[in-house]
C-alpha cells in the first residue's frame, strides 16, 4: 500500500481497502507501526431466478466513522501505556506483546465492539462540547486552578468539566481531545447515570482494568501507581487525580517524579486538594447551574423539525442536537455520513442540499474548518424555502461562523 501511495502520489496514506466481503481499515500509528482493523461487510442472502445470491452492502460501513475509532484505539493505548516505539527501542518486545494483548483483548471486548455498533457521525468527530460561560465565571475557575498550581509544585495542568462540557483545559489540543474522549468513554457513561453527590469523590483513571459495570468511583484517593496517563509529545507519564463533585469533574495532572513516588504523598495531595476546593466548587457549581437556567430557560432545543450538527476542526468544538435512535433520523444516518465524508473534499466554502423521496432535507455546509450538517424535516418544502430556512438557522444559532451567507 505504501508503494502504491508513493507511486501515484496519492492524496493521503492508504486508509481503507474495500473487499466484497470484508473491509480493512488501517492507520499508520507510529513510524513503521500500523494498526489495522478488519470488519465484515453486512450481507443478505436473496433468492433471484431460483438461485441463492448473497448481496453485500459495502455502503453500510462508513469509512468516515470507522477510521476515528481505529485511531482512537491506538491513542487510548498510548494514553495508558505510552508509545509502542518506546517498548521496541528498549528491546522489550516480549513485554510489549503481553501488554498489547492484555490491553486490546480487554479493549475490543468491552469498548471497541460497542463503539463500532453505536458509531454515528457525532461520535466520529471525537470533538468537544464547550461550555459557554460568562467572563467572570471563566476567570474565577481559571484563577482557582492557577492558585492550586502555585500551591502544589508537582501539579502540572488541570482540566475542568461541567457535566460533559469542557470549561477549561491546560493541556495541548491533542491531549485535551484524547483525555476528553477518555472521560466520555469511561467516566461519563457511568456518571450520567449516577445520582448527584455533593461530597467530593475520586474517579479511577485506569478504568481499562475493570469491567464497565464496576464502580469506578471511590471516596478515598486511589493508589498512585495505577493512576498514570501518558501525555505530551513524546508522551511522558503523568500521575493523575480525578475529582468529582456535583456536576463538576476536574482532572489534575501531576509530574510523575520517580524520586518522590510515594503513595502517601499523592493521597495527601489529593486530600489537600479536596479541602481547598470543596467550598469553591460548591459555589461555582451553583453559579453554573444558575447561568444555565438563565440562558436556556425551558431547556428546549428550538424548532423540533430542525436538527443540527456543528463541528469546528480548529478547536474540535462540536455540538449536536440529533438523537440517532429516533425516527426519521435513524434512517438518515447513511446519507448524513456520506455527506460528512464528502464535505472533507469540498473547496473551502461550499454547500450541498440533498433530498430523498419522502425524507427530510439534509444540508451540508462548510466554511474553512467549520462544518455544519442540518436535517430539516419539512418534506414539502422546496429548495428555495429550505435555503431560506438554512439562512435563518445560521443567523440565529451560528452567527459569525460562516463567511458567506
Q: Which residues are at the interface with another protein (CB under 8 A)?
A: 1, 3-5, 7-22, 53, 57-60, 63, 334-335, 338, 342, 344-358, 379-380, 382-384, 387
CB of 220 to another protein, least distance (A): 50
Task: Closer to another protein by CB, 86 or 335: give it.
Answer: 335
* Residues 19, 43: Cα–Cα separation, whole Å: 13
CB of 391 to another protein, least distance (A): 10
* Residues 251, 253: Cα–Cα separation, whole Å: 6
Task: Closer to another protein by CB, 295 or 356: give it.
Answer: 356
Angle between helices 63-81 and 93-107 (to 10 degrees): 130
CA atoms lying within 13 Å on the CB side of residue 131: 24
Cβ distance 160 to 148 under 8 Å? no
Instruction: Decide: residue 322, CB within 10 A, 0-12 exposed, 13-18 middle, 19+ buried.
Output: buried
CB of 336 to another protein, least distance (A): 10
* Residues 207, 184: Cα–Cα separation, whole Å: 12
* Residues 69, 26: Cα–Cα separation, whole Å: 11
C-alpha cell at 205: 483513571
Task: Closer to another protein by CB, 94 or 357: give it.
Answer: 357
CB of 357 to another protein, least distance (A): 5
CB of 379 to another protein, least distance (A): 6
309: Cβ contacts below 8 Å, ≥ 6 apart = 121, 122, 318, 319, 320, 321, 322, 336, 372, 373, 374
Task: Closer to another protein by CB, 121 or 273: give it.
Answer: 121
Task: Closer to another protein by CB, 96 or 354: give it.
Answer: 354
CB of 366 to another protein, least distance (A): 10
Task: Closer to another protein by CB, 114 or 331: give it.
Answer: 331
Amino acid at each position: 500500500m505504501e508503494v502504491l501511495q508513493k507511486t501515484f502520489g496519492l492524496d493521503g496514506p492508504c486508509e481503507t481497502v474495500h473487499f466484497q466481503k470484508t473491509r480493512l481499515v488501517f492507520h499508520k500509528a507510529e513510524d513503521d507501526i500500523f494498526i489495522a482493523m478488519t470488519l465484515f461487510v453486512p450481507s443478505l442472502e436473496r433468492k433471484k431466478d431460483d438461485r441463492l445470491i448473497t448481496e453485500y452492502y459495502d455502503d453500510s460501513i462508513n469509512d468516515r466513522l470507522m477510521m476515528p475509532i481505529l485511531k482512537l484505539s491506538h491513542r487510548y493505548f498510548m494514553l495508558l501505556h505510552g508509545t509502542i516505539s518506546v517498548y521496541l527501542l528498549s528491546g522489550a518486545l516480549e513485554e510489549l506483546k503481553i501488554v498489547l494483548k492484555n490491553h486490546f483483548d480487554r479493549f475490543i471486548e468491552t469498548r471497541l465492539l460497542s463503539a463500532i455498533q453505536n458509531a454515528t457521525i457525532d461520535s466520529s468527530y471525537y470533538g468537544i462540547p464547550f461550555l459557554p460561560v460568562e467572563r467572570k465565571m471563566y476567570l474565577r475557575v481559571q484563577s482557582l486552578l492557577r492558585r492550586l498550581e502555585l500551591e502544589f509544585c508537582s501539579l502540572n495542568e488541570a482540566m475542568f468539566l461541567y457535566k460533559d462540557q469542557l470549561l477549561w483545559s491546560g493541556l495541548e489540543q491533542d491531549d485535551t481531545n484524547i483525555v476528553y474522549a477518555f472521560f466520555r468513554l469511561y467516566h461519563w457513561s457511568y456518571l450520567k447515570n449516577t445520582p448527584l453527590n455533593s461530597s467530593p469523590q475520586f474517579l479511577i483513571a485506569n478504568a481499562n482494568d475493570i469491567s464497565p459495570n464496576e464502580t469506578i468511583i471511590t471516596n478515598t484517593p486511589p493508589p498512585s501507581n495505577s493512576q498514570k496517563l501518558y501525555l505530551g509529545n513524546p508522551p511522558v507519564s503523568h500521575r493523575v487525580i480525578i475529582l468529582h463533585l456535583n456536576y463538576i469533574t476536574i482532572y489534575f495532572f501531576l509530574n510523575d517524579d520517580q524520586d518522590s513516588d510515594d503513595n502517601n504523598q499523592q493521597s495527601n495531595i489529593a486530600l489537600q486538594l479536596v479541602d481547598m476546593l470543596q467550598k469553591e466548587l460548591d459555589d461555582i457549581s451553583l453559579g453554573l447551574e444558575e447561568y444555565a437556567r438563565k440562558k436556556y430557560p425551558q431547556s428546549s432545543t428550538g424548532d423540533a423539525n430542525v436538527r443540527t450538527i456543528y463541528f469546528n476542526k480548529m478547536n474540535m468544538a462540536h455540538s449536536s442536537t440529533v438523537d440517532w435512535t429516533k425516527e426519521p433520523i435513524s434512517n438518515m444516518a447513511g446519507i448524513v455520513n456520506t455527506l460528512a465524508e464528502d464535505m472533507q473534499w469540498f473547496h473551502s466554502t461550499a454547500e450541498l442540499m440533498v433530498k430523498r423521496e419522502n425524507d427530510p432535507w439534509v444540508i451540508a455546509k462548510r466554511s474553512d474548518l467549520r462544518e455544519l450538517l442540518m436535517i430539516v424535516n419539512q418534506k414539502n418544502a422546496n429548495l428555495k424555502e429550505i435555503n431560506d430556512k438554512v439562512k435563518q438557522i445560521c443567523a440565529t444559532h451560528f452567527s459569525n461562523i460562516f463567511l458567506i451567507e
